[in-house]
Amino acid sequence: MVGEMDLLDNKTIISASSPAEREHHIRSLLPELKAAGTFQPATSYHVIWFLTVFCIYAGSYAVLLTDPGWPPRTAAIVIVAVMMMQLGLFAHEVGHGAITTHMRWRSAMGLVSNSLLVGFSYSYWQSTHSRHHNHPNAEGIDPDMESLGYALYERAAQRSRGLPRVVARLQPFSVWVGFIAWGAAIKIDGMIYLVRNLGRRTAADVGCIVAHFVLWLVVPMTVVSPRTALINYASMTVLNGLYMAAILVVPHVGTGTQAPDQQLPFFVRQVRYSRNYDSSWLGTLLCGGLNLQIEHHLLPHVPCMRLRRAKPIIASYCIKHGLPYEQVSYWEAWRQVLAHLRRMSLIVRGEDRIDTTLTPASRRAA
């Protein structure tokens, strides 16, 4: 069973900012969570999920190879973009051990679903995602909080220089351009990572990435035309980036950050710097469980469809012990994110400054 210390590295300092935040452990909730069926495997769900997504993906690919008219072509492009995101979410489950704990199977499934079918390096994702889970919203540590073009927290806004400063001044408007480019950007980042880390460990990943581009560019260029192939792939990559933005931004942005000299216990930092939104069955399906971000961060190895069983138990515990537990609607989450980005842009311009004595919850309410 994955506990608190399984996600901590040997540099983590265990401390807390207040007595109310000390001595909280997910293991104290294990009896309730087990009784609720939280840890039951979801094998059937995962098999049906992958096979359904793969068949739709393959069918849409075949349609695009026929070079159909604009209506079916547009539909196929949109469908592939959605299926790519679903495959990425499936790979996310794989990477956390929610499907199998067998390392070779995990590696093979992750490479096929993420690197081969999506074109995003699974090795690169693993290298960044583990740091995010160990240190959510930790300034200078969590890669998801660091951006070349955007200021996601106060210190980043204050140190912004050059072109990134110009872009950050235009938040939250310029962020939409970033969302459009996000799908391509992460693929490029993944390829740069593989080039810098060429070796036996990444050989299979490199092979899968090459096969992906043969599948989506080389083959279509010979069957239809280079122009059509490039337009199709660029379009689905843009749409995939927008889907990513729709579900990956709201769980953490605007929930506060950990300063470099501040280290909180596992349970506290996972709850404090996460935000839940839309806990419905459909929301969980579309978001791969990332809508239940608090539960996912506390129980990363639990299948996404089992997180809804853990939600009332964890929420009740947090409320009882005075710990922050944020559950909002999807649109309220976006309102908070955009308000935060707007305030960061004001800091870049020198027109505002956040009161560092406020808690993350107080800042969001301000």
pLDDT in tens, 71-109: 999 999 999 999 999 999 999 999 999 999 999 999 999
In a domain, 279, yes or no: yes
Q: Between 165 and 144, whose confidence is greater?
A: 144
In a domain, 318, yes or no: yes
Contacts of 317 (CB under 8 A, 6+ apart): 29, 323
Structure tokens at 93: 């489950």
* pLDDT at residue 163 greater than cutoff 80: no
Domain count, the chain: 1
In this structure, are residues 21 and 268 in contact, taking their beta carbons and an 8 Å threshold? yes
For 66-199, where are the alpha helices, taking DSSP H only?
A: 70-95, 103-110, 122-134, 154-159, 162-169, 175-196
Half-sphere exposure of 340 toward its Cβ, with a 13 Å CA cutoff?
A: 25
In a domain, 207, yes or no: no
Work out the pLDDT band at 157, boundaries 50, 70, 90: confident
Which uninterrupted H or E stretch holds 285? Answer: helix 281-287
In a domain, 125, yes or no: no
Work out the pLDDT band at 2, boundaries 50, 70, 90: very low
Which residues span the domain enclosing 26? 17-40+264-328
In a domain, 299, yes or no: yes
In a domain, 280, yes or no: yes
pTM: 0.88
In a domain, 271, yes or no: yes
In a domain, 213, yes or no: no
Summarised one tens digit per residue, pLDDT across range 318-332 is: 999 899 999 999 999
Place of tokens 């947090």: 318
Summarised one tens digit per residue, pLDDT across range 241-257 is: 999 999 999 999 999 99
